[in-house]
Amino acid sequence: MIMAVAPVKVYGPPLSTAVSRVLACLIEKDVEYQLLPVNMSKGEHKSPDYLKIQPFGQVPAFQDESITLFESRAICRYVCEKHANKGNRGLYSTNPLVKASIEQWLEAEGQSYNPPSSVLVFQLAFAPMMNIKQDEGLIKQNEEKLGKVLDVYDKRLESSRFLAGDEFTLADLSHLPNTHYLVAVGGKGEMFTSRKNVGRWWDEISNRDSWKKVVEMQEKR
């Protein structure tokens, strides 16, 4: 008898960068999911019930069978490990050497790329939507920081098609959410296109079907 597998649950709006990272991963891995709304403008992410699954009161939260998880990058790693043989198998290799390179660039995203880029995403894309005054000093400071990170990426991408090697991996995917807002909403496309290899890389990763589907979901809301 074939048992029906319940889809995994993702809590949060696709407009959130962290939620969209998980969605892109699930689509790449061809894993069935159910998206559950969390109305952040009504503070649902701080409600006692929600805090039981995401104790920091942030999105996304994730459920699969008896496990609940938070932290988008940890969720993506879990999805890739559990479904190693499903969908895009190269997304997160099982070969330790290849995996080490993916992990290295995933860490670079979380530790070096995300801090300045997430400040810029908030200042340039979300603050105007929320009628919050932009902080020009913070924008300038973080643009400089991100520029330095992108110089390192440009050098790496001179000799490598993708960050971790010849294949698109979770390391590249993890950069999609913040970069999308900077390019498509924040008017910072030039930071990427002015760096030849970064521009070529961005063009390639942002045109993946999985990411285009996520952007469509964002535009519907």
Closest distance to ligand GSH from the beta carbon of 47 (Å): 12
Which of positions 2-41 make contact with ligand GSH (CB under 6 A)?
16-18
Is residue 102 involved in binding ligand GSH (CB under 6 A)?
A: no
**Stretch of 2-10, 26-34, 65-73, 138-146 lying at the interface with ligand GSH (CB under 6 A):** 65-73
Q: Terminal CA-to-CA distance of the chain, rounded, Å?
A: 39
Quickly tell me which residue has 């001179």 as its tokens: 158
Closest distance to ligand GSH from the beta carbon of 42 (Å): 13
Q: Applying CB under 6 A, which of residues 58, 93, 178, 210 lies at the interface with ligand GSH?
A: 58
Q: Applying CB under 6 A, which of residues 23, 24, 59, 124 lies at the interface with ligand GSH?
A: 59
Which of positions 70-89 make contact with ligand GSH (CB under 6 A)?
71-73
Closest distance to ligand GSH from the beta carbon of 55 (Å): 12
Is residue 57 involved in binding ligand GSH (CB under 6 A)?
A: yes
3-state per-residue secondary structure call for the chain: CCCCCCCEEEECCCCCHHHHHHHHHHHHCCCCEEEECCCHHHCHHHCHHHHHHCCCCCCCEEEECCEEEECHHHHHHHHHHHCCCCCCHHHCCCCHHHHHHHHHHHHHHHHHHHHHHHHHHHHHHHHHHCCCCCCHHHHHHHHHHHHHHHHHHHHHHHHCCCCCCCCCCHHHHCCHHHHHHHHHHCCCHHHHHCCHHHHHHHHHHHCCHHHHHHHHHHHHC
**Structure token pair of residue 210:** 């999985």
**Stretch of 52-60, 97-105, 191-199, 201-209 lying at the interface with ligand GSH (CB under 6 A):** 52-60
Closest distance to ligand GSH from the beta carbon of 195 (Å): 25
Q: Applying CB under 6 A, which of residues 29, 45, 195, 208 lies at the interface with ligand GSH?
A: 45
8 strand-pairing partners: 33
- Residues 139-168: x where in contact with ligand GSH by CB under 6 A, - otherwise, as a string: ------------------------------
Of 60 and 195, CB closest to ligand GSH: 60
Residues 33 and 8: their CA atoms lie apart, in Å, by 5
Q: Which residues bind ligand GSH (CB under 6 A)?
A: 16-18, 45, 57-60, 71-73
